[in-house]
Amino acid sequence: MTKTFDVGAAPHLANQRSVTRVMGLVLLALVPGVFATVVFFGPGVIFQIVLAAAFALGFEAMMLKLRRRPLRPFLTDLSAPLTAVLFALCLPSLAPWWLAAIGMFAAIVIGKHLYGGLGYNLFNPAMVGYVVVLICFPRELTHWLPPAGLESQLGTPGFLDSAAAIITGHLPAPWNWDALAQATPLDTVRELSNRGETMAEIRGNPLFGDFGGRGWEWIANFYALGGLFLFWKKIIPWQTPVATLGSVVLVTVPFWLYDGDINPFPLQHVFSGALVLAAFFIVTDPVSGCTTPRGRLIFGAGVGLLTLSIRRWGAYPDGVAFAVLLMNCAAPWIDLHTRPRIYGEMPPP
């Protein structure tokens, strides 16, 4: 008696990995950074994350519906919430709610789905969203609270005050933007050094901590902690973060050695702005970045160098987002020209 069976292609064994697990671990790795942000800038960032995630999932569902794709696998892959969290972490914690709406529209609808959805987007969606709101609403993007401990008489806004500020766009008493809005450390460096102050004088400003901005440097440390966790879990490769941060340090060291008065200490560059967040969580986005080992080194170094250039010569205080988008354009080409040697392939003469 002959028994029949269903057939299938080799290999036949079950696979334990999934996109949801990858994205989930990245989200988990962001928890320490979010925690540090809450400590220094109040609970507003939690609202930003929830808002952005809600908009992201909404737009994702809408686009999947329009593109006639199955909803379930793509809504549960956690890629849209990850985009939302990375975007929210770039916003001032009390930014008005509609920034999240506009940012997520740009990120999910334009940056992601118009390019073909998950896996096909040329640009990092979170950075697309951030750059759109940065260019369209520069004023709102400068409304940074002073980090905790800087103006102790006020403290950071509480839960309800933060919610009210985000929904109404107005700060509840006794805060008000004109008195409060803080230049970020990077703005300060740029402005004061343009006025001819030395680095030592600039760093005397209470905005600065040990290396970067007060508060900012701690948040960066916690992002780095999450990044190391991802490295340990083999979710991110070592090449991209090392190349991004390494290129910044390598290029700034000679300048700082040459004249430490006008050129910032290398670690100040690293621990200011969004560089550490970017190095571990944004430059490492596999879809929009490079995928070959050498390509990742070039991609990371490119982001680091472009960031420095924009910080030094550009019109914006921090250039990470622009640097990432510019390198995104180059990534497919870099990949084509950095293929590793295949087994048994002779080195080129």
Residues 210-249 that bind other proteins (CB under 8 A): 234, 237
Kindly state the tokens that stand for 217. Answer: 């440097």
Is 68 among the residues that bind other proteins (CB under 8 A)?
A: no
Nearer to other proteins, 77 or 318 (CB): 77
By CB under 8 A, tell whether 342 contacts other proteins: yes
**Residue 7 in contact with other proteins, rule: CB under 8 A:** yes
Which DSSP category does 109 fall into?
I
* The one among 174, 196, 344, 347 contacting other proteins by CB under 8 A: 344
H-run or E-run covering 293 = helix 293-313
- Span from 112-120, 123-131, 153-161, 270-278 in contact with other proteins (CB under 8 A): 112-120
- Residue 286 makes contact with other proteins by CB under 8 A: yes
* Residue 105 to residue 114: CA distance in whole angstroms: 11
DSSP one-letter code for 281: I
Closer residue to other proteins, CB minimum distance, 73 or 204: 73
Which residue, 13 or 173, is less far from other proteins as judged by CB? 13
- Confirm or reject binding of residue 71 to other proteins (CB under 8 A): no
Q: Phi, psi (5° rounding) for residue 297?
A: -65, -45
Among 54-62, 135-143, 190-198, 337-345, the segment contacting other proteins (CB under 8 A): 337-345
What are 10's two structure tokens? 């080799």
Nearer to other proteins, 19 or 225 (CB): 19
Over the window 288 to 317, marking each residue x when it contacts other proteins by CB under 8 A and - when it does not, the resulting string is: -x-xx-------------------------
Cα–Cα dist 282/111, whole Å: 15
Establish whether the linkage from the previous residue to 92 is cis, with ω within 30° of 0.
Answer: no
Q: Which amino acid is located at 327 in the chain? A: M
Q: Is 348 in the site for other proteins (CB under 8 A)?
A: no
Q: How far is the CB of 74 from other proteins (least distance, A)?
A: 8
Using the rule CB under 8 A, give the single segment among 81-89, 97-105, 261-269, 282-290 that binds other proteins. 282-290
Alpha-carbon distances of 173 from 149, 169, 177, 179, 345, rounded to whole Å: 19, 13, 10, 12, 69
Q: Does 335 bind other proteins (CB under 8 A)?
A: yes
Nearer to other proteins, 1 or 173 (CB): 1
Q: How far is the CB of 24 from other proteins (least distance, A)?
A: 11
Would you say the C-alpha torsion 171, 173, 176, 181 has a positive or negative sign? negative
Binding residues for other proteins, how many (CB under 8 A)?
Answer: 42
Looking at the Cβ atoms of 79 and 252, the one nearer to other proteins is: 79
Per-residue x/- track, 9-48, other proteins (CB under 8 A): xxxxxxx-xxx-xx--------------------------
The least CB distance from residue 215 to other proteins, in Å, is 33
Single residue of 35, 65, 67, 73 touching other proteins by CB under 8 A: 73
213-216 long-range Cβ contacts below 8 angstroms, 24+ apart: 213/147, 213/184, 213/185, 213/186, 213/271, 213/272, 214/147, 214/149, 214/150, 214/185, 215/40, 215/41, 215/147, 215/148, 215/149, 215/150, 216/40, 216/147, 216/184, 216/185, 216/271, 216/272, 216/273
**Would you give the distance in Å from CA 288 to the centre of its chain?**
13
The two structure tokens encoding residue 304: 């680091």
Backbone angles phi and psi of 262, in degrees to 5: -105, -15
Residue 345 tokens read as 């392939």
Residue 104 touching other proteins (CB under 8 A): no
* Three-point CA angle 243, 245, 249, nearest 5°: 110
Of the residues 53, 91, 189, 287, which one makes contact with other proteins according to CB under 8 A? 287
Shortest Å distance, C-beta 265 to other proteins: 34
Give the residues lining the site for other proteins (CB under 8 A). Answer: 1-15, 17-19, 21-22, 73, 77, 117-120, 234, 237, 286-287, 289, 291-292, 335, 339-346
